[in-house]
Amino acid sequence: MTKTLRFFPALALAAGVALASPACAARVYDNGYPRAGYPPPPPRAAYVSLAERNGYRDGVEAGRDDARHRERFDPVRAKRYREGDHDYDRRYGSRDEYRREYRSAFERGYRNGYEQGRRY
């Protein structure tokens, strides 16, 4: 009986963290729509790597800027796309794999950002 009680605080803490995590994420996206200033999430709701997250975010920014400044649609022109390793850390694995994922997500984000920038 005492062995079971010894682990109770750790179990309570784990349960609290598990319950609080979705609530923290819900603050950014209320009612399924992002708050102003946040780019929409990538289209795939499954696992998203850091390379994809960074690339999509940077692509949305670059696309919006190009559309607002009436530049032509050209994600390859962006410096961060060409470099392909913005926010890379060696702990993420291969730099080449990071670049592939980053550039793919950058193109999706750029397309979405460009469309948003043209509307406003």
Structure tokens at 105: 């997500």
* Mean pLDDT of all residues belonging to the chain: 79
* Three-state SS at 81: helix
Judged on CB neighbours under 10 Å (0-12, 13-18, 19+), 2 is exposed
Q: What is the pLDDT of residue 26?
A: 43
Q: Compute the Cα dihedral for 68, 70, 71, 74 and give only its sign.
A: positive
Q: Compute the Cα dihedral for 11, 13, 14, 16 and give only its sign.
A: positive
Structure tokens at 2: 């005492």
Who wins on pLDDT, 120 or 74?
A: 74
Q: What is the pLDDT of residue 16?
A: 62
Band (pLDDT 50/70/90 cuts) for residue 5 is low
Structure tokens at 86: 């913005």
State how far the Cα of 7 lies from the Cα of 11, in Å rounded to an integer: 6
Q: What is the pLDDT of residue 9?
A: 66
Q: 73 with 66: CB under 8 angstroms?
A: yes
Who wins on pLDDT, 104 or 5?
A: 104
Q: What is the pLDDT of residue 48?
A: 72
